[in-house]
Amino acid sequence: MSMNFLHGADQVPGATFAANWPENWATGWAVTLSATKLELGHLVALTEQLAEIEPALRVVHQRTLVSEADWQHNDTLTQAEQVSQVTAVQWIVVGELNQTESDFAARVKAALTAKAPFHIDVTVMPVATLRRAHKLALFDMDSTLIEQEVIVELAKKAGIGEQVDIITESAMRGEIDFSESFRRRVALLKGLDSAVLDDIIANHITFSPGAKRLISTLKQNGFHVVLVSGGFTYFAQYVQEQLGIDEIYANDLDIIDGKLTGEVTSPIVDGKRKAELLQEIAQRLNIDLSETVAVGDGANDLPMLGLADIGIAYRAKPVVQQQAKYAVNIAGLDGVISVLGLV
């Protein structure tokens, strides 16, 4: 294939892009690529591969979402504020697609990674979805907004880390019911001094790269941001305060005389409840489900990822990657900004 695949592609700034949507784009697709290194030669090879996969497609617009210039102030920022050191490029392509979006994305990724010796994220989204104004975003907490699984940190303090690790990993892979696994793990914490909660916040909780930048960007774009967690309210409140999140829903640890009882005092926020919360909050705010986004990493996030208009798996377990519409693996959490086209 020749470089004619890119012939005539517009390369206008993002602001102009948002204000000018030609009618022939309406049924097109946004193909977004994120990699640790994307140079001109790579892009030529990538466009050729894309043309071979779907010869009927034509690139009508190309824009850079993230470049090295965006990283230049990273050394003065906290990890949560930094821009992920990736290059992200988005193409708008039009023409007939002879396969499903997920199959197309998988084929593009396979073809591109075979030609380029580096890891790459590929998302294929209908332009109609990208163009739609989204207003509500729900996030998982553990291993999504923060890098840790809090219950694992608690287990380490209780000296039962290995036991809880086994149950946690099995639950996140979808091998056992989340609610049952949650009860088992919390029961093992009985007798733990509640002072360890503050110690974990002070010394063991770190935010995912780009988390603060992402939430700030969403808020600037009018999103209502909600944390929905199968973890614990005590830690969710801290995350809410640090990131500026609007609402939180998590599990309340039962504490008597400064000791954990091994129980929770509220209904467990499992996968089903997360999806219910998405529906309830959207209805309360008069937001259509077609205007919602959800981000998570575990099997208990799948119900809300599937229900939201844009469900994004973040550095997720294989079972989640296979079922989610979109995924971010190379970038930090701020890679969600590129998926949503918010530049």
Give 1's pLDDT tier (boundaries 50, 70, 90): very low
Q: Do 97 and 154 sit in the same domain of this protein?
A: no
Q: Are residues 154 and 115 located together in one domain of the fold? A: no
Reduce the secondary structure of 195-209 to three states and give it as a string: HHHHHHHHHCCCECC
Say if residue 157 is in the same domain as residue 278.
yes
Task: Look up residue 250 and give its two tokens.
Answer: 């998590």
Which of 110, 131, 152 delimits the end of a domain? 131
Sequence length of the chain is: 343
Residue 259 pLDDT level (bands cut at 50, 70, 90):
very high
> What is the number of structural domains in the chain?
2
> Do 174 and 88 belong to one domain?
no
Q: What's the angle, vertex CA 203, arms to CA 197 and CA 205, rounded to 5?
A: 75
Same-domain status, 52 and 159: no
Whether residue 279 is found in the same domain as residue 204:
yes
pTM, full prediction: 0.90
* Domain end call among 131, 150, 175: 131
Q: Decide which of 114, 131, 148 is a domain's last residue.
A: 131
- Indicate which CATH number applies to the domain containing 151: 3.40.50.1000
172 and 117 co-located in one domain: no
Note whether 90 and 216 are within 8 A (CB): no
Q: Which domain holds residue 289?
A: 136-340
Examine the domain organization and report whether 149 and 274 are in the same domain: yes
What tokens does 195 get? 């002072």
296: β partners: 313
Q: Where are the alpha helices (DSSP H) in the chain?
A: 14-19, 40-53, 101-115, 127-131, 150-158, 161-172, 178-187, 195-203, 211-220, 233-243, 271-284, 302-307, 318-323, 335-340
The predicted pLDDT at position 16 comes to: 42
| Pair 163, 300 in one domain | yes
Decide if 278 contacts 134 (C-beta within 8 A).
no
Do residues 161 and 277 both lie within one domain? Answer: yes
The answer to which of 77-86, 94-103, 139-148, 252-261 has the lowest mean pLDDT is: 94-103
Whether residue 252 sits in one domain with residue 213: yes
What is the per-residue pLDDT for 61?
86
The residues carrying an active-site annotation are 140, 142
Task: Tell whether 155 and 212 lie within a shared domain.
Answer: yes
Q: Which of 70-84, 170-184, 303-317, 325-339 has the lowest mean pLDDT?
A: 170-184
